[in-house]
Amino acid sequence: MVEYNAPIRDYEFLFNEMFDVIPIVQKLGYDFDNDFLSMLTEGWGEHAKEVWLPINQLGDKKGLDYDDGKIKMPEEFKSAYSESIEAGWLSTSCKQEHGGMGVPIFFSAVTWAEIGTSTNMAMSVLPALSIGVYEVLVEHGSKELIDYFATNLATGKWAGTMCLTEPHAGTDLGIITTKAIPQDDGSYRITGTKIFITYGEHDMTENIIHLVLAKTPGAPEGTKGISLFLVPKFLPSDWVSGGVKDLSENLMSDDNGVTCSGSEEKMGIHASPTCVMNFDESIGWRVGDLHNGMPLMFQMMNRERLATGMMGIGLAEIAYQNSLAWAKERRQGRDLKGPQEPNESADNILVHPDVRRMLLEAKVNTEGSRALAAWTGILLDQMHSEDIEEAEMAEALVALFTPIVKAHFTDLGCESVNTCMQVMGGAGYCTEYGVEQFYRDVRISKIWEGTNGIQALDLAGRKITHNMGKNLRYLMWPLTEFIENNRTIPEMEEFNKPLHQGVRGLQQLTLLMIAEGQANPHFLAAGATDYCRYFGNVLLGYMWAKMAKISLEKSGDPFYDAKIASARYFFKRIFPETAGLAARIQSGYKNLMDYPVEMM
């Protein structure tokens, strides 16, 4: 029996005490207060626990049914999805004019995403993608497209996907071959094949709206020639004009030449279709300017990368809760200092240091990641501020944090779930307890939306030097200010001193990566993954130091005392790995690139 309780108290602490989010979003124009935020968090946690969690293992075991190009989902999934639509939980951040709640982005991007993933990762992917399509459409689509498609996407009546990858073109999207032929009526005919399309085909919704990357005739080579197109699975029969004045009769038919020729058999997320999609002269409409498809798709992809990072947190959290519950009941061996409960046949396994190590690593990394996620979510809202300086700061930090959130959170999520399974021994390997499913499910997160190695290259090769280093400066200002302000506070020394050392190390490593990387890109590429992890640890260190400071002022309360103890654990047991990471980065690239291929 899988257990789960949404981390509501932790979110209250983060949003109310650590970041004071309400004044921030009210300044942005939201009619939003603490009571509404609490109601949303508690309501979503309860709904997900009662409606999504009970069918999670069922979806894993039952999977989906692929037959002759059609995918049938478990009936329980369709019912749960419909119930969530009716309750309004799938459109919290969408505009009210499109049927959404119109709440700040941070709730859907962070709290909604974590709780949804914890309770049913396979289910949570569908609305996350649909809202991503909605956001790109609303910001860049024509009025006619927005007026017709936005509400159907926002409410969950229709679903959305993004179609990038082709059989020969994964990370290197510049070599895609999908074609978009312009028509006299303003539409395009899309032809090509896309692979690894999440929820590309299913029967959860009435229609599926695909955002497809394609090239028009005579387009420039590489990514500069890519445009973005909205292609529905079914052409809506009730859309008379859609901004296109002369629609031929075949435009009104249901069949739009969009077919699924396969669904992948996967290690995990068995109830989430992963499809091969074929577009055969499918009718679509351009979104945004011609040859500007990649920036628009990256806007959606970056939001999905943040959502993928939340998957690491969500599955680490539920794995931790279940392994801890199991550990509290499990008795094996005796405390090495002597029996703690001599009247029992054995002591509880929490007397063993290594069991505590595993559980605390999962707990502390997850809570630290959640804090950084909360900050990132707030920045997503601040990006839309009318205050130019505030918006610029937020945009710079989100750009910097995105590859770290995606890569570091999913690395830690996989490690944490794996560790939690280890805590439970053989029981953790058995399906009855659920944790082995969490491990199989979370493993895709390191691959999805650009592998973690690609995220590390993006961070080291682009994000730290972008805009003459302004991204990094926006981070260093609050970091160094925090360190300086706490330098003379005795209670903060155990947190502030290692953080200071870590920040100095980050500055030195960044300069090294830039200098050596310009001379030899292999140096930068060889150290990128370790640099990303180092950077992630520094950011989590900053979060833990801030949480410790708040908690020290309220010591004596179990919640805050636990935060102080967790901060100590982070800086004593997790943060020291930065020294080893620095040594690996400084070792350079020759030990990798000079290794003879024939000897591998």
Residues catalogued as catalytic? 449
Report the C-alpha gap between 559 and 498 in whole angstroms: 24
Identify the H or E element spanning 231. strand 226-232
User: Which is nearest to 431 in space by CA: 270, 312, 199?
Assistant: 270
Cα distances (angstroms) measured from residue 289 to each of 140, 148, 229, 570: 9, 20, 10, 47
**Contact call for residues 335 and 350 (beta carbons, < 8 A):** no
Entry field: residues in the chain = 600
Joined together, the tokens standing for residue 586 give: 């400084």
Which residue, chain included where needed, has tokens 């649909």?
A: 130
DSSP assignment of 171-190 equals S-GGG---EEEE-TTS-EEE
Joined together, the tokens standing for residue 192 give: 């090509």
Joined together, the tokens standing for residue 95 give: 């505009």
Report the C-alpha gap between 145 and 276 in whole angstroms: 26
User: Which is nearest to 318 in space by CA: 446, 430, 443, 437?
Assistant: 437
Report the C-alpha gap between 456 and 407 in whole angstroms: 7
Tally of CB atoms within 10 A around 367: 26
**Contact call for residues 362 and 319 (beta carbons, < 8 A):** yes
Identify the H or E element spanning 390. helix 388-423
Cα distances (angstroms) measured from residue 355 to each of 4, 339, 463: 21, 17, 38
User: Which is nearest to 111 in space by CA: 320, 494, 390, 376?
Assistant: 376
Secondary structure class of 335 (helix, strand, coil): coil
Q: Please give the torsion angle defined by the CA atoms of residues 90, 94, 98 and 101, in that order, rounded to the nearest 10 degrees.
A: 70
User: Which is nearest to 575 in space by CA: 538, 535, 522, 530?
Assistant: 538
Cα distances (angstroms) measured from residue 428 to each of 369, 389, 406: 24, 50, 26
User: Furthest-apart CA pair in the chain: how many Å?
Assistant: 86
**Residue spans of beta strands (DSSP E) within 117-221:** 158-163, 179-182, 188-198, 207-215
Residues with Cβ within 8 Å of 550's Cβ and at least 6 positions away in sequence, in order, are 13, 17, 18, 560, 563
Which residue, chain included where needed, has tokens 């996907």?
A: 161
Q: Please give the torsion angle defined by the CA atoms of residues 535, 540, 542 and 546, in that order, rounded to the nearest 10 degrees.
A: 170
